[in-house]
Amino acid sequence: MPSVRRSLTDAQRREFHDALEARRQEVLARQGRLDASLSDAREARSDGQADDEHDPEGPTMAATWSQLTGMHDDLEVEMTEVEHALSRIEAGTFGLCQRCGKPIGVARLRARPYAELCIDCARAAEAH
């Protein structure tokens, strides 16, 4: 009999913890591969291929570089979201909307375990 209001059962909390932990490992692995690509690109760049940028044909080094750094930034954001979600599980606030405090809903959490807002608040946030 829980003394605090909970939106999830213990089994669900474990399920989401495992899903988030798996996600964290996956992001870490992707970051490792991306770091390798970034250092390759950095080497190629300092290899005197600066003229690439003036070549209208094919992908340029600059485009590859900005794509890689964009992916790098996305992974950082994802890692932060996953880590915040894991700490909300620790704190017992996981599954509650960070804005209105209502339960986010298990279906939404299954699709997006690091969701911080309920569907209503997420829609309202997107509308602005």
E strand or H helix at 89: helix 61-91
- Span of 6-14, 29-37, 60-68, 94-102 interacting with Zn ion by CB under 5 A: 94-102
The radius of gyration of the chain from alpha carbons, rounded to an integer in Å, stands at 20
Nearer to Zn ion, 70 or 101 (CB): 101
DSSP 17-70: HHHHHHHHHHHHHHHHHHHHHHHHHHHHHTTT-GGGGG--SS--HHHHHHHHHH
Residue 97 near Zn ion by CB under 5 A: yes
**Distance of closest approach, residue 123 Cβ to Zn ion, in angstroms:** 10
Distance, CA of 76 to CA of 120 (rounded, Å): 26
User: Could you say which of 28, 100, 124, 125 contacts Zn ion (CB under 5 A)?
Assistant: 100
Q: Which lies closer to Zn ion via its Cβ, residue 31 or residue 93?
A: 93
Check binding of 108 to Zn ion (CB under 5 A): no
Rule CB under 5 A: say whether 82 interacts with Zn ion: no
For residues 27 and 118, which CB has a smaller minimum distance to Zn ion in the complex? 118
